[in-house]
């Protein structure tokens, strides 16, 4: 089974369409989404519709919950808050009820999903250190735990034979029966690791491989939508920088 895992799409339909095409060509038959479908970008309803058409199983991120007022946006920066307020005005009842239906965590096969972390998903704290990653590896049960939120991809590997978890340097890893992983899937719609290409995660259960995939998309068109919507220009300017 080939599973495509997407995170932090952030209303960027141009990036999402490119990723969906690429993953279909790869042979993806299952679609998982680790939250933040909306926010920042200018096509929230289009992204929700495409995920529905793919039959994706999604969880909620802080921006999704911010839009439906299930979490506070007081700590959001100016541009993020403006985008949440704008998104509230755009969504119809069915898109809104889709966001309301999203759970905070889900399990599919041997994969667990949480947007920010597994220890306290509704607190939205980031996982940036190996110490935090080690705590997270004890907080989910499946072989692979996938998060998003920081928009920076990483893979941390733990072994049942003991020892401290290690960060994998490289874009792919193959598992054996002793290994478990915490993976940040990166961001489809607003990467922040210096690479502006859309990022998603491929999990291939037959070859036991976990791999990041980067996809070029029409950044200029995504920027045009943001400026036409009247959203803060910083949200468009950061896209070609991958920051
Ligand atoms: Fe995000």
> Separation of 74 CA from ligand 1 center, angstroms?
16
> Separation of 76 CA from ligand 1 center, angstroms?
11
The 10s digit of each residue's pLDDT in 191-215 is 999 999 999 999 999 999 999 999 9
Task: Give, as residue ranges, everything with CB less than 5 Å from ion ligand 1.
Answer: 8, 36
Q: How many domains does the chain have?
A: 1
What confidence category does residue 55 fall into, taking pLDDT thresholds of 50, 70 and 90?
Answer: very high
> Separation of 177 CA from ligand 1 center, angstroms?
32
* Strand order across the 57-58 sheet: 57-58, 30-33, 2-6, 198-204, 209-215, 172-174
With beta carbons less than 8 A apart as the criterion, state whether 39 and 65 touch.
Answer: no
> Separation of 71 CA from ligand 1 center, angstroms?
14
Whole domain around residue 215: which residue ranges? 2-241
Give the integer Cα–Cα distance in Å for 180 and 185: 15
> Separation of 195 CA from ligand 1 center, angstroms?
16
What's the CATH number where 224 sits? 3.60.21.10
The SS3 assignment for 108 reads: strand
The SS3 assignment for 218 reads: coil
Share of the chain above pLDDT 90, in %: 98
What confidence category does residue 163 fall into, taking pLDDT thresholds of 50, 70 and 90?
Answer: confident
């Amino acid at each position: 089974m080939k599973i495509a895992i997407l995170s932090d799409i952030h209303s960027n339909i141009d990036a999402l369409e490119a990723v969906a095409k690429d993953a279909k060509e790869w042979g993806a038959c299952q679609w998982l989404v680790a939250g933040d479908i909306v926010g920042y970008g200018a096509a929230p309803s289009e992204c929700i519709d495409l995920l529905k058409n793919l039959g994706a199983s999604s969880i909620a991120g802080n921006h999704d919950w911010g839009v439906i007022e299930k979490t506070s946006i007081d700590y959001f920066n100016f541009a993020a808050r403006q985008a949440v307020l704008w998104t509230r005005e755009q969504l119809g009842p069915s898109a809104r009820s889709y966001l309301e239906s999203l759970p905070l965590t889900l399990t599919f096969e041997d994969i667990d999903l949480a947007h920010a972390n597994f220890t306290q998903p509704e607190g939205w704290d980031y996982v940036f250190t190996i110490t935090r990653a080690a705590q997270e590896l004890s907080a989910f049960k499946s072989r692979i735990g996938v998060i998003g939120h920081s928009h920076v991809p990483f893979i941390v590997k733990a072994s049942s034979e003991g020892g401290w978890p290690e960060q994998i340097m490289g874009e792919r890893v193959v598992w054996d029966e002793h290994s478990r992983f915490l993976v940040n899937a990166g961001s489809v719609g607003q990467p922040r690791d210096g690479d502006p290409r859309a990022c998603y995660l491929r999990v291939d259960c037959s070859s036991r491989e976990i791999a990041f995939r980067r996809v070029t998309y029409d950044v200029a068109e995504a920027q045009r939508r943001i400026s036409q919507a009247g959203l803060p220009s910083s949200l468009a300017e950061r896209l070609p920088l991958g920051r």
